[in-house]
Every structure is written in C-alpha cells, then in structure tokens.
Amino acid sequence: MPEHSLFAGPSTYLPYLKDNKVAYFNIRLRGFGGAPITMDLKLSVQDSENSAGVVIDAIRYLKVARELGVVGALRGPSAWTQKTPPEQMMYTDAKRECEALAKRQLTSSVKKQVKK
C-alpha cells in the first residue's frame, strides 16, 4: 500500500454540525482482471450517544484502579478511551494496560502508581 494512501485525523469543531460527527471514506481498489473499483462513503453519527459505552468503560477502569490503590492518571485507559489523554500510547500498549486492569492485574508502569 502506498505510504500516503491512508489518512485519518480530527478536524476542528464545526458549529453547524453540533454533536454530529462526519467521516468520509474514499476507497479505491482493483477487482477481477484489474478492473478499477471506487467507493465513496459518508459515515455520520451522533457523538454523545455513541460515546456512552466508552465513558462507562472509563468509569469501570477508575473503579478497579481505586480498589487496587492506584493513584494518578491511568495511562492505558486514558489513551484507550479519551481523545486527548495526558500521554499518548500505541494502540497495543493501551489495550494491554486496559486488559490487565480489567483482570485486576497491574502492569509494571501501573505498579509504580500504587499508593503505599
């Protein structure tokens, strides 16, 4: 796949869209015999309703962390659930930290945050 063929990024707040988030996808590929296929898609969602599940997950991570005596910002769950976390993480690292916390296991970085 060519280096500049994929792009995803946030845009600025557009007052006329209010809580509606819109994404456009332009997909180009080759079908049988190399025939070109182009798809232009538009995805439109209400952001607040679709964020409810993510907020519930964030609250659950906070509850488990509190039970385990963890203090401070939760790096993994923040990177996994928030648009602007205190610290950006790679997807796989954030997911690993979230899965460990869900199992009530502490990763080496979270162990440093346990209140003594």
Question: Quick check: is 8 in a domain?
Answer: no
* Pair 44, 28: CB distance under 8 Å: no
> What is the span of the domain harbouring residue 79?
51-111
Nearest to 37, CA basis, from 26, 48, 45: 26
Question: Quick check: is 20 in a domain?
Answer: yes
> Do 78 and 104 fall within a single domain?
yes
Section 16-27 average pLDDT:
87
pLDDT, tens digit (0-9, with 9 covering 90-100), for 28-56: 999 999 999 999 999 998 888 878 888 99
> Do 55 and 106 fall within a single domain?
yes
Distance CA 58, CA 87 (A): 16
- 3-class DSSP state of 15: helix
> Do 63 and 80 fall within a single domain?
yes
> Do 58 and 107 fall within a single domain?
yes
pLDDT, tens digit (0-9, with 9 covering 90-100), for 73-108: 999 999 999 878 888 899 899 999 999 999 999 999
Question: Quick check: is 7 in a domain?
Answer: no
The first and second tokens of residue 78, run together, are 């923040």
Task: Give residue 10's pLDDT.
Answer: 61
> Do 42 and 62 fall within a single domain?
no
> Do 38 and 55 fall within a single domain?
no
CA dihedral 47, 89, 103, 70 (to 10 degrees): -100
Task: Give residue 9's pLDDT.
Answer: 65
Question: Quick check: is 60 in a domain?
Answer: yes
Task: Give residue 22's pLDDT.
Answer: 86
The DSSP call for residue 51 is H
Task: Give residue 37's pLDDT.
Answer: 97
In the block, residue with structure tokens 């796989």: 92
